[in-house]
Amino acid sequence: MPDAKPTTFGDLQPSKWPGERLGLPESGRGSVGRVGRRIAALLIDWASAMLLALLFTPYDSVAYNFVTPLVFVVLQIVFIPTIGGSIGHRLLGMAVVPLEGGWIGIRRPVVRSLLLIIVVPALVWDSDQRGFHDKVAGTVLIRSR
* pLDDT at residue 120 tops 80: no
Query: Beta-carbon neighbour count of residue 134 at 10 Å?
Result: 25
Mean pLDDT, range 43-67, rounded to an integer: 95
Q: Specify the pLDDT at position 3.
A: 52
Please, which contacts does 106-109 make with residues 24 or more away whose CB atoms are closer than 8 Å? Answer: 106/77, 106/81, 108/80, 108/137, 108/138, 108/139, 109/76, 109/77, 109/80, 109/81, 109/137
Mean pLDDT, range 122-142, rounded to an integer: 88
Give the 3-state secondary structure of residue 28.
coil
Mean pLDDT, range 22-39, rounded to an integer: 92
**26-30, 125-129, 137-141: segment of lowest average pLDDT:** 125-129
Q: Specify the pLDDT at position 119.
A: 83
* pLDDT at residue 6 tops 70: no
Mean pLDDT, range 51-72, rounded to an integer: 95
Q: Specify the pLDDT at position 1.
A: 43
Residue 25, classified by CB atoms within 10 Å of its CB into exposed (0-12), middle (13-18) or buried (19+), is middle
